[in-house]
Amino acid sequence: MASPALAHMSSPNSQLLRVAETGRAPLSFFLDGVEVDALTGDTVLTAILTQQRHVRHSEFSGEPRAGFCMIGACQDCWVRCEDGARIRACSTLVRQGMCVVTNRVSCVDGSAR
């Protein structure tokens, strides 16, 4: 299980560094099969980008993308939940135990899809 005590910390390889509102309740979710920390009230985009530098890869160029508008308008932050549902990461709140897939690896068993 991810450490709630470290939920406010950002990964050394993250795009975002959390500098405010660090007192919100911690939660954990699964990012490409790995349990990681976030805080209640984080968007999925914030939760992902405090762990890594990209939210997905472009289906056209294959280049990493990290969102653009952050307000649900540009379509640059689509990710999938484990059940296959597409969500806009910048306008969806992360939930405890949520499984988010940014690549083709299963959230549950780490197998390639």
The residues binding ligand FES (CB under 6 A) are 67-70, 72-77, 88, 90
Give the HSE-up count for residue 71: Cα atoms under 13 Å, Cβ half-sphere. Answer: 2
Please report which helix (H) or strand (E) contains residue 49, including its range.
helix 44-49
Q: Are 30 and 81 a contacting pair, CB within 8 Å?
A: no
Six token digits for residue 58:
């472009």
Do β-strands 78-81 and 99-101 pair in parallel, antiparallel, or remain unpaired? antiparallel
- Tell me how far, at minimum, the Cβ of 91 lies from ligand FES, in Å: 6
Whichever of 26 and 50 has its CB closer to ligand FES, that residue is 50
> Minimum Å distance from CB 1 to ligand FES?
29
* Residue 3 beta carbon to ligand FES: minimum distance, rounded to whole angstroms: 28
Closer CB to ligand FES, 71 or 108, in the complex = 71
CB-wise, 90 or 94, nearer to ligand FES?
A: 90
Nearer to ligand FES, 8 or 88 (CB): 88
Helix (H, G, I), strand (E, B) or coil at 56: strand
